[in-house]
């Protein structure tokens, strides 16, 4: 069995799971799902990947003719930095609780490109991504990040949907 | 943490993983991936789901005006039955090797509808599906089954791509 042979090699080398995070509850749920569902061994690694968009490009969504001073840009960048750090620390803490080796990667760029590039470069074994993160406006304009990645990366992709509270109540 | 609370309930009840199979190598690889990657507990269940298309609708792809006698239909149905049974036995065997509780479901109908309906009905916790099964012609006409299901089911969906031999060699 080909998959079994590949598995034997990974058993020694350790597998790399990439979880794409974007400060949304959706992506934190995707991480929790991965920690609970995937069978992590000691040699395995979970990579917490955050694509950091430029605060200027985010501000551009406010409309054309919106001018930012350099102080405003620096201030926005610092605020973004603090938010990302707090979020990533929370994510690292969840991994620690489950005794899963984790590393964080904050990479500047568009989430779609960053995720596909990192997954490819690291020869990741699985990519976990929330179904509805990365901003509603961009999703309408460019399609969902999860769809984009599912079509482009070579490894298995898990698209995690956070169940609505109503659906969860109905189920139990 | 909401996901953790849901997990506590599943710990007692057992989780249901649905793996969609279609007699392709791609879907058998998806099953192997699930068995190696997902953390199955004793109370968990793996459901091997096969959507059985009518042999008549498959034959219709040969073109209009193609007439089948009732003997031919019966013969095709029997051959399909044998193939499915052999494939599902192989799949059950893989689960047994990994000591994972499995059940097989062969449901008549179109794969897209069958998979979504069964996942919904059983409140499955995760759906695993190969990225390129279920026939090339249908995929061109209707889009891939994995895309269809990823957009419709409420639970996390794993889209498993079987790596090409070349890609696997490059990696190791």
Q: Which of A37, A147, A158 sits opposite B39 (nearest CB)?
A: A37
* Domain contains A28: yes
3-state secondary structure of A19: strand
Question: Is the backbone of residue A22 left (phi > 0), alpha (psi -120 to 50) or beta?
Answer: alpha
3-state percent breakdown (helix, strand, coil) of chain B, nearest 5: 55, 20, 25
| CA–CA gap between residue B88 and residue B23 (Å, rounded) | 8
By the 8 A CB rule, do A51 and A110 touch? Answer: yes
Calculate the average pLDDT of chain A: 82
pLDDT beneath 50, residues of chain B: 1, 171-172
- At residue B172, the pLDDT reads 45
A121 contact B CB<8A:
no
B161 and chain A: CB distance < 8 Å anywhere? yes
Q: Is residue B1 a part of any domain in this protein?
A: no
Whether A32 sits inside 8 A of B161 (CB atoms) is: no
- Would you call B32 and A1 a contact, using CB atoms and an 8 Å cutoff? yes
Give the count of domains, chain B: 1
Distance, CA of B83 to CA of A36 (rounded, Å): 36
Name the residue in chain A with its Cα closest to that of B9: A172
- Asked if the structure places residue A161 within a domain, the reply is yes
Across the interface, of B1, B9, B158, the residue whose CB is closest to A156 is: B158
A44 φ/ψ angles, rounded to the nearest 5 degrees: -85, 160
Q: What is the pLDDT of residues A45-62, one digit of tens each?
A: 999 999 988 766 555 555
Tokens of B136: 């090339």
Q: Residue A95 domain-assigned?
A: yes
Q: Is residue B137 in some structural domain?
A: yes
| CATH of residue A35 | 3.40.50.620
Q: Which tens digits make up the pLDDT trace of A28-41? A: 999 999 999 999 99
* Confidence bin at A131 (pLDDT 50/70/90): confident
d(CA A65, CA A44): 49
A99 reaches B (C-beta below 8 A): no
Residue A2 belongs to some domain of the structure = no
User: Could B29 and A147 be called an inter-chain contact, meaning their C-beta atoms sit closer than 8 Å?
Assistant: no
In a domain, B2, yes or no: no
**What is the predicted pLDDT for the residue at A122?**
95
Rounded Cα distance, B130 and B51, in Å = 14
- Count Cα neighbours of A86 within 13 Å in the Cβ-side half-sphere: 8
Domain span holding position A51: 13-171
Asked if B32 lies within 8 A of A4 by C-beta distance, the reply is yes
């Amino acid at each position: 069995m080909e998959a079994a042979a590949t598995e034997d090699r990974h058993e020694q080398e350790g597998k790399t799971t990439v979880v794409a995070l974007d400060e949304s509850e959706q992506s934190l749920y995707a991480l929790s799902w991965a920690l609970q569902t995937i069978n992590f061994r000691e040699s395995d690694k979970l990579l917490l990947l955050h694509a950091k968009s430029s605060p200027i490009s985010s501000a551009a969504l406010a409309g054309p003719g919106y001018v930012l001073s350099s102080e405003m840009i620096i201030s926005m960048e610092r605020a973004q930095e603090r938010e990302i750090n707090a979020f990533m620390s929370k994510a690292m803490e969840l991994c620690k609780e489950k005794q899963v080796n984790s590393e964080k990667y904050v990479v500047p760029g568009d989430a779609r490109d960053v995720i596909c590039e990192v997954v490819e470069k690291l020869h990741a074994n699985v990519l976990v991504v929330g179904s509805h993160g990365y901003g509603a406006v961009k999703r309408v304009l460019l399609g969902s990040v999860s769809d984009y990645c599912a079509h482009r990366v070579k490894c298995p992709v898990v698209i995690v949907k956070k169940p609505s509270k109503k659906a969860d109540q109905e189920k139990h």
